Amino acid sequence: MADLHILVANSKGGCGKTTVATNLATAYANAGLRVGLYDCDPQASARHWAETRSEDLCPVDLYFCPAPQKIEPAKTQDYDVCVYDSAPGLATKPTSQSDFEALLKLSGVIVVPMLSSAWDIQAGEHFIAQLMTQRVWRARPRPIAVVSNRVNGNVTSQQLQHFLSCSNVPAVAEFRESPIYADAGDSGQGVMEMKQNRAARKEFKAWRLLMSWITENANSHIRTRLPAAPLAAPRVTGIVRNSEKQG
Ligand SMILES: Nc1ncnc2c1ncn2[C@@H]1O[C@H](COP(=O)(O)OP(=O)(O)OP(=O)(O)O)[C@@H](O)[C@H]1O
Ligand SMILES: [Mg+2]
């Protein structure tokens, strides 16, 4: 099995799951780690992202797995880091319960992107509460972090802060509302790779904060190999292997 399994999840649609998953995948790939990105959403956004990724960038292997219960943990051992991008409705649709369980079983740490509107916060709180009552999670509680996404000004609302402090879930990073995320998504990149872009560079600190939290909460095995500081320069060549097969 890979050493680090990051589940990016929130039942709320459009909160930034694929954005966070693809950006984390590229950040770890640029740090010289072997990265598998598992697209567990039938909408296949991460697969489309990978299809547009240039072969000149660090490789991120994409597996399209709309049925995550079919992912065999043993097959993830080719990677140092596995990132799971999940579908909206996880935990809320009765049909998605087995997907939810399967993804929780695979996960080592869980990142929950959240927008800042009252509805988003309410849905995010509900999702985290559901997550923490899942049998699989209770049997082995995995570290959970919230990241605030599309932040415009000073947002982390009191309601969210109160909930997080009661549930012991940290809010570890805030990503700005910025067109750089759509640009990165459309061109198969991560913002950490867009070093020439000023708007992208403004986001580096937040991504490093998230990665530091992941490093602190990853198992000791991988911790020594994860980047805590600025990421290594991209390798010059690389292949993106897009696969229809599940991992
Ligand atoms: N920080 C940001 N600033 C501006 N746009 C953003 C930001 N984060 C995400 N977006 C945009 O918001 C839209 C939704 O993001 P994304 O697809 O990552 O959400 P999602 O949670 O994966 O959605 P779904 O639930 O449909 O899978 C995309 O168009 C994306 O480019
Ligand atoms: Mg998505």
Q: What is the pLDDT of residues 104-143, one digit of tens each?
A: 999 999 999 999 888 898 899 999 999 999 999 999 999 9
Contact 35, 241 (CB under 8 A): no
Q: Which ligand is nearest to the CA of 180?
A: 1
**How confident is the model at residue 12, as a pLDDT?**
96
Output the pLDDT for position 155.
54
What pLDDT was estimated at residue 232? 41
Q: Give backbone dihedrals phi and psi of 234, rounded to 5 degrees, phi first.
A: -60, 145
**Residue 42 CA to ligand 2 centre (angstroms):** 9
Give the model confidence (pLDDT) of 55-105 as tens digits: 999 999 999 999 999 998 888 989 999 999 999 999 888 778 899 999 999
Which is more confidently placed, 181 or 157?
181
The CATH topology of domain 4-234 is Rossmann fold (3.40.50)
In the chain, % of residues over pLDDT 70: 86
Rounded distance between C-alpha atoms, residue 103 and residue 140, angstroms: 13
Q: What is the pLDDT, as a whole number, of residue 166?
A: 82
Nearest-CA neighbor of 245 among 77, 40, 65, 59? 65
- Domain-wise residue ranges, the chain: 4-234
User: Is 13 a pocket residue for ligand 1 (Cβ < 6 Å)?
Assistant: yes
**Which tokens sit at 58?**
């660090």
The finding on whether 17 has its CB within 6 A of some atom of ligand 1 is: yes
